[in-house]
Amino acid sequence: MLHIPALEKLVHELTKLPGIGPKTAQRLAYYILKSRADYSEVLSEALKRVSAEVHDCPECFNFTDSDLCKFCSDVHRQDDIICIVEEPSDVMRIEASGGFRGRYHVLHGALSPLDGITPDDLRIKELFLRLEKAKTQGTPIKEIILALDADLEGDTTVLYLAKALQNFNLQDHDLTHKIKLSRIAHGVPIGGDIDFVDDRTMNRALENRVIL
């Protein structure tokens, strides 16, 4: 690449985006430069606008430009079941399935001790404040679904939340208020060929097998 400080700075910033390597960042930078004269201004304005208008929902921490996100403000959704996801983008994937009509809670990441990401860096404290609030208001949560990634960080987060929820349940002597914890199943995808399924996925598929 030409030694142009401004261009190098743009490429460097683009490489900070998820899934964007140096070559892709360079292609994007050249595309921006070759586009119509006002494109960079339009892009800059869009970035400034999303930064100014979009914020975390105070209830579930999904992205929104309103006081509450559309899922928290929807009175037709179930209040007693919460699906926990890692990122706001995961909410839309679950919504696209059409199989969930409860509420959401976005952690904004997963536990990763090697990367220095601890429970204090996630929206875990807010989750249990939410559970406590629901209980005191007489509308306790009945089930929490963990829709986290099936990787090391996701598994670590699941174990932590399971332990924390167990302690939360032990604080309540009313057995009718015990919260059920579940995790989305992982295994062979629909239309998949088991010849191409890795060992870890196959193990999960066997563990989550369905009785016919």
150: amino acid identity, one letter = A
Give the Cα separation of 88 and 188 in Å (integer). Answer: 25
**pLDDT score, position 198:** 81
- Local structure of residue 69 (DSSP, 8 states): -
Task: List domains and CATH numbers for the chain.
Answer: 5-53 (1.10.8.420), 63-207 (3.40.1360.10)
The confidence score (pLDDT) of residue 64 equals 97
* Interaxial angle between packed helices 22-34 and 5-14, expressed in degrees from 0 to 180 and rounded to the nearest 10: 120
> For residue 50, what pLDDT is reported?
96
Strand pairing report for 81-85 and 143-147: parallel
Low-confidence ranges of the chain (pLDDT < 50): none
Predicted confidence (pLDDT) per residue in 96-106, tens digit? 989 899 999 99
Question: Amino acid identity of 65?
Answer: D
Kindly report, residue by residue over 100-127, the tens digit of the pLDDT.
999 999 999 999 999 999 999 999 999 9
